[in-house]
Structure 1
Amino acid sequence: MPKPLSILFVDDDEMSRTHFARAVQGLYPVHLARNADEAIEILEEHGADIAVLVTDFRMPVSNGDQLLREAAQRYPRIVRILVTAYADKDMLLRTVNTGGVFRIIEKPLRIEAVRETLREAIAQWTERETRQHQLLAMDETLAFLAHELNTPLATIALIAQTIENGSIGASDPMPQSKVADAATSMLANAQYCMTLISSFWASLHKSGGAQSLSRAGAREVRATRLIATLLDTYPFSASQRDWITVDVRDDFIVRAMPNCVTLVLSSLLSNALRALSRTPRPALRIEVLDTLEPQIRVRDNGPGIAPEIKARLLRDPITTHAEEGGHGMGMIFCNRIMRSFGGGLEIDSTVGVGTTVTMRFGTRKECARATDAQRPLEPQSSLDTPG
């Protein structure tokens, strides 16, 4: 379990440090420092666990405003509060502007004022963390979306180049049948790109924009619903849809980010269909299981994956279709997304028999750990609840 997030209080006066520690006793862990140098040492050791920095202004050697400026540069996540007994307007303005001060507390410290200010600071920290997680989730998702678009677009470019090379200055022009097949392939890849963008855009906006990419804005959608929506919108070519069967043993609610789960499913489906393109009797089964750990399995009877490649698929940028523009990042992205839910991907493949990719959504304990890693700072006592 992650360490509880804490408060750092800096003051050269021992009585002030004791008074502050008593004011928040039982609410949050508190680190105490006598000066800026001690504060920096504590930040270097415990910076990842500190949510709020509260510092006196007048201190020997280095004033609080210098500490606040350094903390703002090195630890921007931390909410910064200034304590002062001086009503120096210019000083206060300068410190607020350069040190990113959230609040100013006047001495002498009053317990209720300290607690209320800390509640506001924690709310500010929570808002910052939520926004940061949303941005990281958006960045990860857009990178994955870019990867999913890269392969079909690269395929279109390669086909177009082949047609161009076979038409310009060639003594034996490309047969019309091959041109038609090439055009069909380009159309299918273009449709896949357009469908992926439109479905992702629609689901993103229906579920609240960027908020839907964070756990705070995650919707509860059943696994079968995600699969049905994907199969309804996926740009299958020829008889590909007939290859697919869905086996629902136990449905479950996907409590993760549905947009990201859909992207993972789409990527696995695309890989499986590509693997089945030269299989005499292609078959692809999507299984939904809700046992100790909810799972979605994508199982095909394609050519399988060589052991030396399978062993590297989830950690190295390796691909089995480089000639079609693949660069091997897809499975890595898929695994990272599933791991962020407390689960992960598993690949089971036998050459000549087929491949099964399992999307693990994590046990309750694993999901709780994944959620706790992003949980906002919470009070450790009911005393922190107003009223």
Structure 2
Amino acid sequence: MSDTMQPPFSVLFVDDDEMSRNHFARAIHKEYCVHVAQGVDEAMAMLSEYGAEIAVLVTDFRMPGRHGDDLLRQVAQEYPQIVRILVTAYADKDMLLQTVNTGDVFRILEKPLRVETVREVLQLATARYTERETRQQRLLAMDETLAFLAHELNTPLATISLFARTVESDVAEQYDPERQLAIGQAATSMLNNAQYCLTLISSFWAAVHKNGGQQSASGTGTQEVRATRLIATLLDTYPFAGSQRDWVQVDVQGDFIVHAMPNCVALVISSLLSNALRALDGTPAPSLRLEVVDTPEPEIRIRDNGPGIAPEIKARLLLDPVTTYAGSGGHGMGMIFCNRIMKSFGGCLRIESTLGAGTTVTMGFPCLRS
């Protein structure tokens, strides 16, 4: 078995001439994984099997049966992420204006093909493909984040509603000082949950509004955000209740740049922090440690000394909507959304827990060191 690294991009070349197919494959096989087809139908069959990995389609125009413009239009509809290039003879140019104007083709290559020209155009095409994929991943991450944000707001708002109904029903009743204390505690909980909602909305909007105008042409932000800075900002704005802030310590063993969307990552940390603080409620000498490490892989760990999670619950946390806080508005979707957001940019979420000894949730980030 060869241990040669697989080329990062695949190219599908379509031409009814066998010599042209062989010449194209030999010319670029070191830079790209090459698939070849001799006609439109074979090309579509190839795409049905390898469409997920093919970045660029290069097709001849004049072929027996269906021409290349038919293939371009079908691929544009069924595989819009693939960058499409048309190969043609000079005499075909006037006939191809409509194909170009409809946006079905990225570039036109003239016959006979020159190797250097092909390589230059393929570099541009793969750059376009990468840009499309990056944009799509960001949209998916944003969709997950918005759903996650809705969940995070729904849980405390449900708690507010629950306590509000309790207060409302007690207003018209006669109650003793003990009952007055319970109502006061309910009002405090309502206030804390409402403040959490407002903080989330404010922080998320500020991050999106600020970063929206700072995207370069390549799609990367102009300002690097480090994990320690992200955590410090979150701790400065998080609506801690009572002495909760005193429970939290930050242990930096190695910092790293958060290459993913920082506002998404901040929401994940906020949710995990909220879960840990809730688990520590009533724990003697509560302790919550946020650890930042950069070796062997960049990670953020949220470690608490709470009651821990039962094995049967822990096994389902990242897969099913399970919760131990249904009475206070919990729906069990928080960990699922956290996991999806981390996975959307190549990261991961891991949970380690022992009953009676606490829980550690690890946010793993892709290693992008050069």
Tell me the TM-score normalized by structure 2: 0.84
Query: Deviations for 1:246-294, whole angstroms, at most 9, x for unmatched residues?
Result: 344x232243433333222211211122122333543333344455344
State how far apart, in whole Å, the 2-side matches of 1:295 and 1:109 are.
48
Following superposition, the deviation at residue 207 of structure 1 comes to: 4.4
State how far apart, in whole Å, the 2-side matches of 1:354 and 1:318 are.
21
State how far apart, in whole Å, the 2-side matches of 1:310 and 1:215 are.
37
1:323 maps to: 327
**Contact 1:224-1:251 within 8 A present in 2 as well:** no
Secondary structure at the counterpart of residue 12 of structure 2? strand
**Contact 1:297-1:356 within 8 A present in 2 as well:** no
Match of 2:288 among 280, 284, 289: 284
State how far apart, in whole Å, the 2-side matches of 1:100 and 1:252 are.
45
Question: Within 5 A, what are the aligned runs for 1:71-82?
Answer: 71-82=75-86
State how far apart, in whole Å, the 2-side matches of 1:19 and 1:293 are.
43
Equivalent position amino acid for 1:31 in 2? H
1:377 maps to: none
Query: Deviations for 1:296-318, whole angstroms, at most 9, x for unmatched residues?
Result: 33333333323321222122110
Secondary structure at the counterpart of residue 118 of structure 1? helix
1:253 maps to: 256
Secondary structure at the counterpart of residue 101 of structure 1? coil
**Contact 1:223-1:251 within 8 A present in 2 as well:** no
Please tell me the root mean square deviation across aligned C-alpha atoms, in Å: 3.2
Question: Within 5 A, what are the aligned runs for 1:238-249?
Answer: 238-248=242-252
**Contact 2:61-2:86 within 8 A present in 1 as well:** yes
State how far apart, in whole Å, the 1-side matches of 2:7 and 2:157 are.
45
1:52 maps to: 56
Mean CA deviation greater in 175-184 or 26-35:
175-184
Following superposition, the deviation at residue 36 of structure 1 comes to: 0.9
How many pairs align?
360
Following superposition, the deviation at residue 114 of structure 1 comes to: 3.0
1:117 maps to: 121
Is residue 2:366 matched to residue 1:335? no
Match of 1:41 among 35, 39, 45: 45
Mean CA deviation greater in 21-30 or 238-247:
21-30
State how far apart, in whole Å, the 2-side matches of 1:239 and 1:75 are.
55
2:36 maps to: 32
Question: Within 5 A, what are the aligned runs for 1:1-387?
Answer: 4-24=8-28, 26-85=30-89, 86-87=91-92, 89=94, 91-96=95-100, 100-167=104-171, 172=174, 176-207=180-211, 216-217=220-221, 220-248=224-252, 250-257=253-260, 258-339=262-343, 340-350=345-355, 353-361=356-364, 367=367
Secondary structure at the counterpart of residue 278 of structure 1? coil
Equivalent position amino acid for 1:237 in 2? A
Following superposition, the deviation at residue 87 of structure 1 comes to: 3.6
Does the C-alpha gap of structure 1 residues 16 and 303 become closer, same or farther in structure 2, counting only changes over 3 Å? closer
Query: Deviations for 1:209-261, whole angstroms, at most 9, x for unmatched residues?
Result: 6959x99449644443333222211111222222323344x232243433333
Tell me the TM-score normalized by structure 1: 0.80
**How many percent identity over aligned positions?**
66
Does the C-alpha gap of structure 1 residues 225 and 92 become closer, same or farther in structure 2, counting only changes over 3 Å? same
Query: Deviations for 1:122-144, whole angstroms, at most 9, x for unmatched residues?
Result: 23222212211221222222222
**Contact 1:134-1:211 within 8 A present in 2 as well:** no
State how far apart, in whole Å, the 2-side matches of 1:65 and 1:334 are.
44
State how far apart, in whole Å, the 1-side matches of 2:145 and 2:168 are.
35
Query: Deviations for 1:89-110, whole angstroms, at most 9, x for unmatched residues?
Result: 4x42443356722222333334
Does the C-alpha gap of structure 1 residues 239 and 48 become closer, same or farther in structure 2, counting only changes over 3 Å? same
Secondary structure at the counterpart of residue 246 of structure 2? helix
Does the C-alpha gap of structure 1 residues 101 and 287 become closer, same or farther in structure 2, counting only changes over 3 Å? closer
Following superposition, the deviation at residue 354 of structure 1 comes to: 4.3
Structure 2 unmatched ranges of 5 or more: none
Does the C-alpha gap of structure 1 residues 251 and 4 become closer, same or farther in structure 2, counting only changes over 3 Å? closer
Does the C-alpha gap of structure 1 residues 2 and 277 become closer, same or farther in structure 2, counting only changes over 3 Å? farther
State how far apart, in whole Å, the 1-side matches of 2:7 and 2:207 are.
35
State how far apart, in whole Å, the 2-side matches of 1:288 and 1:112 are.
47
Secondary structure at the counterpart of residue 80 of structure 2? coil
Equivalent position amino acid for 2:358 in 1? T
Equivalent position amino acid for 2:189 in 1? S
Equivalent position amino acid for 1:193 in 2? C
Query: Deviations for 1:154-191, whole angstroms, at most 9, x for unmatched residues?
Result: 21122223333444xx6557955444333322221111
Greater RCO (Cα-Cα under 8 Å, separation 6 or more): 1
Equivalent position amino acid for 1:329 in 2? M
Secondary structure at the counterpart of residue 206 of structure 2? helix
**Contact 1:3-1:49 within 8 A present in 2 as well:** no
Does the C-alpha gap of structure 1 residues 24 and 293 become closer, same or farther in structure 2, counting only changes over 3 Å? closer
